[in-house]
Amino acid sequence: MDYRLLDIIACPVCNGKLYLNKKYNELICKFDELAYPIRANIPVLLTNEARVIIK
């Protein structure tokens, strides 16, 4: 994934900043506690594809 995208894209739910989780290859929204997958180096920013982060 192109890291410059992190400055441009935002969470589709709250428009907040997304953080890259390299271990699981996903983008994290800390406000909504959602993780969006990255498939074939393309972020999938669909709410029905996101998984809920359990603390």
Give tens-digit pLDDT for 1-55. 777 888 999 999 999 999 999 999 999 999 999 999 999 999 999 999 999 998 7
* Helical (H) or strand (E) element with 17: none
Cα separation, 38 vs 13, in Å, equals 17
CB 3 within 8 A of CB 38: no
The matching CATH number, chosen from 3.20.20.70, 2.20.25.10, 3.40.640.10, 3.30.465.10, for 3-52 is 2.20.25.10
Which pTM was predicted?
0.90
Residue 51, both tokens? 């998984």
Per domain, the residue ranges of the chain are 3-52
Strands 34-39 and 51-52: antiparallel
